Amino acid sequence: MKDANRKGHVLARRLRSAMPNAEYCLWQEIRRKQIAGHHFRRQLPIGPYVADFACVKERLIIEVDGVGHSSTNERQRDEKRTAFLKNKGWRVIRFWNEDIYEDVGSVVEAIAGHLSTATQAEKDE
Amino acid at 59: R
Predicted pLDDT at 125: 47
Q: What is the fold, at CATH topology level, of the domain defined by 6-124?
A: Endonuclease; Chain A (3.40.960)
- Domain map (residue ranges) of the chain: 6-124
Q: For residue 109, which phi and psi values (nearest 5 degrees)?
A: -60, -40
Handedness of CA 11, 13, 16, 17 (dihedral sign): negative
Please tell me the number of Cα atoms within 13 Å of 85 on its side-chain side: 27
pLDDT per position as a tens digit, 1-56: 455 556 555 555 555 556 789 999 999 999 988 898 999 999 999 998 999 999 99
* Predicted confidence (pLDDT) per residue in 93-115, tens digit: 999 999 999 999 999 999 999 99
The pTM for the full model equals 0.78
Task: Determine contact, residues 51/16, Cβ cutoff 8 Å.
Answer: no
pLDDT of residue 88: 95
Q: Are 53 and 17 in contact (CB under 8 A)?
A: no
